[in-house]
């Protein structure tokens, strides 16, 4: 188990881990928000040439407070935590899955903190295609199933409850990320989007929506690129961690 340090963010503490030395890299994990335990070998490999920060979001894992429904609130808590760590900014921010939403909102709201952005198979922002009713029911059903499984107990019970809260607010989070990006834009820094090469079967319209958002994140400039992790599913940090590590190394080398 990873043992982190507690950082006061105003009324409660966030559990963070700092590894290595050198230029700063901030990792923001998936929907459950337990970032300290969810990056596989990536933090240790990055720590060979960088200062690497991982953390559990508010109300999640070993962090205090309550889970925030607003992505802007999550991004602002992350900023207070980084200030509490006295981390030298700007940093390269790496957001995986739902963490991609948090990372892009952070970058839009606090562009001076950001030296580069890497999105690892990020959740698509905006409104997915299809029926609004079907979308709402699918997220509601998924959250209910997670809470039911959590009620049975077991080692992952708390993580399932926390993920259920995230799924309950997922549609709002996706819409908020899209509107924030449109209002503020992303900073003019190098951007890489690492997209999974192995996709589960999904409707064509949904795949097109995901692909279009990944391309939009990378942007039209030469400073942004989409990279395909050919041998990985959504679990890129576990199945193709070297792609993340080498992409961070590239951005840090300028």
**Which pLDDT belongs to residue 3?**
58
Q: What dihedral angle (degrees, nearest 10) is formed by the CA atoms of 27, 28, 29, 30?
A: -150
Give pLDDT tens digits for 114-139.
Answer: 999 999 999 999 988 877 766 676 77
**Which pLDDT belongs to residue 2?**
52
Report the topology of domain 5-127+177-253.
Rossmann fold (3.40.50)
How many Å apart are CA 149 and CA 80, to the nearest integer?
34
Q: Does residue 1 register a pLDDT over 60?
A: no
Higher pLDDT, 153 or 58: 58
Give pLDDT tens digits for 3-13.
Answer: 579 999 999 99
**Which pLDDT belongs to residue 64?**
93
Higher pLDDT, 143 or 120: 120
Give pLDDT tens digits for 21-48.
Answer: 999 999 998 777 677 888 999 999 999 9
Give pLDDT tens digits for 19-28.
Answer: 999 999 999 9
**Which pLDDT belongs to residue 137?**
63
**Average confidence (pLDDT) over 187-206:** 93
> For all residues of the chain together, what is the average pLDDT?
90
> Which residue blocks in the chain are alpha helix, DSSP H?
42-46, 71-84, 99-109, 132-151, 157-168, 170-184, 204-218, 236-239, 241-253
């Amino acid at each position: 188990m990873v043992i982190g340090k507690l950082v006061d963010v105003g009324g409660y503490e966030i559990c963070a881990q700092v590894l290595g030395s050198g230029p700063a890299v901030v990792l923001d994990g998936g929907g459950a928000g337990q970032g300290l335990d969810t990056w596989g070998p990536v933090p240790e490999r990055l720590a060979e040439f960088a200062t690497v920060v991982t953390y559990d979001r508010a109300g999640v894992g070993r962090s205090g407070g309550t889970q925030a429904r607003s992505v802007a609130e999550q991004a602002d808590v992350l900023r207070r935590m980084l200030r509490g760590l006295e981390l030298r900014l700007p940093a390269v921010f790496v957001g995986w899955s739902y963490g991609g939403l948090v990372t892009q909102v952070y970058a839009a709201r606090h562009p001076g903190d950001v030296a580069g952005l890497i999105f690892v198979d990020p959740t698509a922002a905006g409104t997915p295609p299809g029926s609004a009713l079907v979308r709402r029911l699918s997220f509601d059903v998924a959250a209910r199933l997670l809470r039911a499984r959590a009620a049975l107990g077991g080692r992952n019970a708390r993580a399932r409850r926390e993920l259920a809260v995230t799924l309950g607010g997922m549609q709002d989070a996706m819409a908020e990320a899209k509107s924030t990006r449109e209002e503020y834009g992303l900073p003019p820094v190098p951007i890489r989007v690492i997209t999974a090469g192995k996709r589960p079967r999904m409707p064509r319209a949904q795949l097109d929506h995901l692909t279009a958002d990944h391309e939009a994140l990378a942007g039209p400039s030469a400073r942004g690129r989409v990279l395909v992790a050919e041998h990985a599913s959504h679990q890129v940090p576990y199945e193709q961690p070297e792609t993340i590590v080498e992409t961070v190394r590239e951005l840090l080398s300028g």
